[in-house]
Structure 1
Amino acid sequence: MTRKLKKGGYAAILSVIVIAAVVLLNMIVGRLPEKVRQWDLSGTQIYTVGDTTKELLASLDKDVTIYVVADPSAVDDRITSFVNRYADLSDHIKVENVDSVLHPDQVKQLNAENNTILVMCEDNGKTETIQMSDIIKYDQMSYYYYGQAKETEFDGEGQLTSAVSYVTNDVQKNIYVTEGHGETALGTLTSDMLEKSGLTVNTINLLTGGGIPEDCELLMINAPASDLADDEKTMVTDYMDGGGNVLLIAGYSDKDRPNLNAVMTAYGLNMENGLAADTKSCYQNNPYYIFPTLVSGSEITTGVDRKSTALILQSAAFSQLETLPDEVTVEPFMETTDGGMLVTENGQTAGTYILGATAVKTLDSGTARLTVFGTPSLIDDGLNSTFTNLTNLDLFMNAVTANFEDVTNVSIPSKSLEVTYNTVTHGGMWGIVFILVIPVITVAAGLMVWLKRRRL
């Protein structure tokens, strides 16, 4: 055997060994969990599963199957990757891909639809269908005006976690939202989050509807422009005396609302006649745009990200009665700082004012709960869409679900897919440095080096 042939044989054997090692490594990596194989390097962490989902999956005691029903070649890889992470986090969850092109009979047998995710609980047979278009959302106006499909949001965790919670939970709760007083309608974000937690929202006019329905488990009054009628005040009072729960988003009004305030007074709270302001913790030096202080230890603020903040605009102010009614306890969970003040037509009164509180009354047959917020801006779609890192909706959903012992807040907002640009709105001296000084110095230094080298 020649020396050249011997070298070639060694090279061939080494090549076979390297190829075999690569194939074996790929097989091993392919068996690893999705969370190990793929790292979340996205700007808004769209693949990262939050604590709410982890706690839900860890507590599962029923088997759930997630069917991805679509042509596999047409499914977005981001959806596939995210779904597989749920199976990695719980032994009670398995994922199956159903090829709607090759196996239409299986799609029909599951009673599923194409381009959907079907979440099914094996124990009780409950199912929930998620449209692919509800996970990756697009700006329809952009397509209409410019003919381009622009991605805006990724709602994988919100949709999947809500579906898993729904199919494994037999609890159904009814919320009634009042109308007839110029109330602000619930926005899309708020309605979606209530639905994600398995809560059914209905509207009710207390006068024309004949009162509060028997199946009402939470009565919500959202920023009424006018006061309750005397009959309505009696209805609400009787409802709470029977152990009912009321969530009031008061909102500021220049009109007197004595009946509404009487309901609050019975639970140890007083709605001040003026606007809340805060000179120490506000947005862009506007004291009516308040970053409220969240009180630790409250169940409403539990689990809220302390690295983020809430922002409320033009809020009503509350104070606690010096002497509380019998069997009533009041727990503020959102306040101004000590730089707070009450602004009225007659002037300003400094102090720390309540912006959100819970009052609980102990009854012979249980408890009644009144939760108040000072402003509907807390759940405003425009505000929460503009500032996506606010904790406003988390506080609201915690306040809603605190009324139910068997309901937890599994409402997870979608994550933005918009490209975020860093901009300097007021450059001042720094703008001159970066735009003029640094480029001039760089060009001058380069010119000097060039001249020096040319002489050499």
Structure 2
Amino acid sequence: EDITIYMLAETGNEDTDFQRIAKEYEKLSDHIHFVPKDPILYPKFASEYTDKEISQNSFIVVNDETGRSKYLDYNDLVVTEFDYNTYKSKITGYDVEGEMTSALQFVTNPDLPKMYVIKGHGEGEVSEVFKSSMDRLNVQVEDLEILKTESVPEDCNILYINTPTMDFSEEEVDRIKNYMMAGGNAIITLDYTCEKLTNFKSLLDYYGVKVTDGILVEGDNNMHLPNYPNFLVPDVVKHDITNQVIDDKVYVITPVASGLTISDTTRSSLTVAPLLQTSDAAYAKQNIHADTTSKEKGDIEGPFYIGLLASDTYNGVTSNMAVFSAKMMFDDNLIQGYGNGNLLSGTIGYMSGDKAPISIASKSIAADHIYVTQQQGILWGALVILVLPVFILVTGVVVNLKRRKR
């Protein structure tokens, strides 16, 4: 199939980096063509493919045989960050390759993954960055009130349950189980408030996942953010889902998480694999309103999991359920600034199978952020406050003695 990449920019005002990247795709295949289109000279061209107001240095990718197209707005091709010194947004990276590759996949493959987001139980709102991440991965997203349907729609590739605060009915749980047993996939996030959701927890139990009451506190200073022992930086366990996190050497942050464990008794068709785990020093704080995060009588000792993947294979049909026990795991800041976004795209890709999206990370032009855990902060603090002054003092003494000898 022939594909044309149209660059919408006024002649002489093209972004040369954008233009260079787009032309690289033309070199990769005889079926991909790059064509510049000046919106001043061709004012009606873009309206043939999109009803959006176009921006300078944007793109339209078109399948010339099917007419399927995707518009790439300039603002989606740059990564911005708010500068609190100037109170303005500044460009910190480019995402042209990621968006362009996503668009090529979109126009050449009409059979793309579809995610249904369950509503009706006080679930958390899906964030804007989450939605844009799904769009970039070519995953269609639609809400589902499962109480009002007889079954999960047949075109559902992934069911997303985002931290419910009210329980499911037994009928709803049965519908989800029936969907899963037919080869369905689910991503579930939860937090400590789920302890009273009996039917919801029965669904997790069916897939070998147990939720420990309380909020996790990490006792290992090297596995939480400085001064926040309930903002955990868990170990990332090697798995197809977590490969990108490990390869990019980025932290996953799990704020105010609950502890997960694997059931001692599971059916032979079920396997439960760890994705994220605490240290042995972690514990589940039972009094969530306590004035201290220190371990107290009644707190439950770890270690715990914060991410698990349950896979059930029966009669050649496999279903997957990924469970993450931190409500804010996929909030805007954590998807953008840490490895949580890689974890999310890895989970989507794993569950999509042959429909798996191609994900290319954006290219940063800003100085790398340095994220330190509590232990790393203490070590660097000791170096600056204690070791460095001593080194300077010793150096001064040595220099002074040498001068006296002269």
Q: Normalized against structure 2, the TM-score is what? A: 0.79
| SS across alignment from 1:403 | helix
Pairwise CA distance, 1:413:
5.3
State the distance in 2 between where 1:188 and 1:181 align.
Answer: 20
1:167-217 residue CA offsets vs partner (Å, 9 max, x unmatched): 122322221111122211111221111111211111122223454233322
State the distance in 2 between where 1:140 and 1:351 align.
Answer: 39
Number of the residue aligned with 2:123: 183
| SS across alignment from 1:84 | helix
1:297-342 residue CA offsets vs partner (Å, 9 max, x unmatched): x221123344222111111211111121241111112211233323
1:141-156 equivalence runs, <5 A: 150-151=90-91, 153-156=93-96
State the distance in 2 between where 1:206 and 1:109 align.
Answer: 37
Number of the residue aligned with 2:342: 394
- More off after superposition, 325-334 vs 128-137: 128-137
Matched residue count:
375
1:270-349 equivalence runs, <5 A: 270-280=210-220, 281-296=223-238, 298-306=239-247, 307-345=249-287, 347-349=298-300
State the distance in 1 between where 2:121 and 2:335 align.
Answer: 25
How many percent of aligned residue pairs carry the same amino acid?
Answer: 25
| SS across alignment from 2:358 | coil
State the distance in 2 between where 1:398 and 1:413 align.
Answer: 12
Instruction: Call closer, same or farther: CA 1:140–1:247 in 2, change over 3 Å.
Output: closer
- The answer on 1:236 being equivalent to 2:176 is yes
State the distance in 2 between where 1:381 and 1:149 align.
Answer: 16
Number of the residue aligned with 2:141: 201
Number of the residue aligned with 1:377: 328
Instruction: Call closer, same or farther: CA 1:187–1:326 in 2, change over 3 Å.
Output: same
Number of the residue aligned with 1:266: 206
Higher relative contact order (CA closer than 8 Å, sequence separation 6+):
2
Pairwise CA distance, 1:88:
4.4
Pairwise CA distance, 1:82:
2.7
Instruction: Call closer, same or farther: CA 1:383–1:329 in 2, change over 3 Å.
Output: closer
The letter for the 2-side match of 1:101 is: I
Instruction: Call closer, same or farther: CA 1:383–1:295 in 2, change over 3 Å.
Output: closer
- CA contact under 8 A between 2:219 and 2:282: conserved in structure 1? yes
Pairwise CA distance, 1:430:
3.9
The letter for the 1-side match of 2:304 is: Y
Among 360, 367, 371, the residue aligned to 2:311: 360
Pairwise CA distance, 1:117:
0.8
- CA contact under 8 A between 1:221 and 1:248: conserved in structure 2? yes
- CA contact under 8 A between 1:128 and 1:167: conserved in structure 2? yes
State the distance in 1 between where 2:261 and 2:105 align.
Answer: 38
Number of the residue aligned with 2:106: 166
1:80-99 residue CA offsets vs partner (Å, 9 max, x unmatched): 23323333455543322223
- More off after superposition, 355-364 vs 122-131: 122-131
| SS across alignment from 2:12 | helix
1:334-393 residue CA offsets vs partner (Å, 9 max, x unmatched): 2112333233236223332111111111233612221111113221113344xx2x2111
- CA contact under 8 A between 1:98 and 1:107: conserved in structure 2? no
- The answer on 1:97 being equivalent to 2:36 is yes
- The answer on 1:130 being equivalent to 2:72 is yes
| SS across alignment from 2:214 | strand
| SS across alignment from 1:162 | helix
- More off after superposition, 336-345 vs 85-94: 85-94
Instruction: Call closer, same or farther: CA 1:127–1:334 in 2, change over 3 Å.
Output: same
Among 8, 15, 19, the residue aligned to 1:76: 15
The letter for the 2-side match of 1:312 is: T
State the distance in 1 between where 2:216 and 2:22 align.
Answer: 45
- CA contact under 8 A between 2:78 and 2:93: conserved in structure 1? yes
Number of the residue aligned with 1:405: 353
| SS across alignment from 2:179 | helix
- CA contact under 8 A between 2:61 and 2:104: conserved in structure 1? yes
The letter for the 2-side match of 1:258 is: T
- CA contact under 8 A between 1:266 and 1:325: conserved in structure 2? no
The letter for the 1-side match of 2:330 is: I
Instruction: Call closer, same or farther: CA 1:318–1:137 in 2, change over 3 Å.
Output: closer
State the distance in 1 between where 2:360 and 2:206 align.
Answer: 34
- CA contact under 8 A between 1:171 and 1:406: conserved in structure 2? no
Gap regions ≥5 residues in structure 2? 288-296, 401-406
State the distance in 1 between where 2:314 and 2:64 align.
Answer: 41
Gap regions ≥5 residues in structure 1? 1-61, 446-456
Greater gyration radius: 1
| SS across alignment from 2:347 | helix
- The answer on 1:351 being equivalent to 2:297 is no
| SS across alignment from 2:344 | helix
State the distance in 1 between where 2:127 and 2:371 align.
Answer: 30
Pairwise CA distance, 1:403:
1.7
Number of the residue aligned with 2:293: none
| SS across alignment from 1:253 | helix
State the distance in 1 between where 2:195 and 2:69 align.
Answer: 48
Instruction: Call closer, same or farther: CA 1:219–1:430 in 2, change over 3 Å.
Output: closer
- CA contact under 8 A between 2:83 and 2:90: conserved in structure 1? no
Pairwise CA distance, 1:138:
6.1
Instruction: Call closer, same or farther: CA 1:91–1:360 in 2, change over 3 Å.
Output: same
Number of the residue aligned with 1:118: 60
For the aligned residue pairs, the C-alpha RMSD in angstroms reads: 3.7
| SS across alignment from 2:114 | strand
- CA contact under 8 A between 1:226 and 1:255: conserved in structure 2? no
The letter for the 2-side match of 1:303 is: Q
The letter for the 2-side match of 1:347 is: G
1:18-62 residue CA offsets vs partner (Å, 9 max, x unmatched): xxxxxxxxxxxxxxxxxxxxxxxxxxxxxxxxxxxxxxxxxxxx5
